[in-house]
Amino acid sequence: SDYQQLSYNLNVNLCQGGPLKSRSLMKDSYTPDVFQTATIDPRHWHGRTINELGRWFEKYFLAINVQKAMKEKYG
């Protein structure tokens, strides 16, 4: 993923002598057949549908924006 690539590049640039290949604890913990048989359903994410998550994030960021506006107005 992008985060692993970024982490690898930062480690190589900041800490000279970094690993030549990044490793994943999850991939090291399971056998390859687990990943082959796993099915990914993009519409169902940890018990919540995409629409429910979208509504939750809308409410969350709206609440944050309201808090910021109140803090700016009333101090």
CA 65 to chain centre: 22
DSSP category for residue 46: T
pTM score > 0.85 for this model? no
- Kindly report each contact of residues 19-27 with a partner whose C-beta sits within 8 Å and lies 24 or more positions away, as own/partner: none
Would you kindly state where each structural domain of the chain is located, as residue ranges? 1-39, 47-74
Residue 48, classed as helix, strand or coil, is: strand
Choose among 18, 19, 26, 32: nearest CA to 1. 26
Digits of tens for pLDDT over the chain (75 positions)?
677 777 877 776 666 655 556 667 767 677 777 767 777 776 666 666 667 778 888 899 999 999 999 999 998
